[in-house]
């Protein structure tokens, strides 16, 4: 595992729920593998996860404003 890009500390992999609030919409992903620095506590999320969350937020936003097509 690559060391922390912020402090060079040891990075471990943990599983946790990831919660993001985008435009007032809360998206939760459970049991996501997240890398965490044991030294400074910085978390590193997988790149695809944020994309996935952003896409779901977009869908929910559309549905909110245009319920007929939801
Ligand atoms: Zn660190």
State residue 23's pLDDT score.
87
- Spatial CB neighbours of 63, under 8 Å, sequence gap ≥ 6: 69, 70
pLDDT at residue 4 in the model: 97
| Cα 28 to averaged position of ligand 1 atoms, centre (Å) | 25
Show Cβ contacts of residue 65 under 8 Å, excluding neighbours closer than 6 positions: none
pTM for this one? 0.72
Q: Which fold has domain 11-69?
A: Ubiquitin-like (UB roll) (3.10.20)
Q: What is the pLDDT of residue 68?
A: 66
Any residues with CB less than 8 A from the CB of 1 and at least 6 apart, and which? Answer: 10, 11, 12, 13, 35
Q: What is the pLDDT of residue 13?
A: 97
Please list the ranges in the chain whose pLDDT falls under 70. 67-70
40 Cα–ligand 1 center, Å: 4
Residues with a beta carbon under 5 angstroms from ion ligand 1: 4, 6-7, 9, 37, 39-40, 42
The per-residue pLDDT for 1 is: 85
How far is the centre of ligand 1, averaged over its atoms, from the C-alpha of 16 (Å)? 18
Q: What is the pLDDT of residue 64?
A: 78
pLDDT given at position 59: 93
């Amino acid at each position: 595992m690559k060391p922390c890009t912020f402090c060079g500390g040891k990075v471990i992999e943990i599983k946790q729920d990831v919660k993001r609030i985008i435009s007032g919409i809360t998206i939760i992903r459970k049991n996501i593998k997240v890398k965490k620095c044991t030294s400074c506590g910085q978390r590193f999320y997988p790149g695809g996860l944020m994309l996935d969350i952003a896409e779901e937020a977009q869908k929910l936003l559309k549905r909110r404003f245009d319920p007929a097509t939801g």
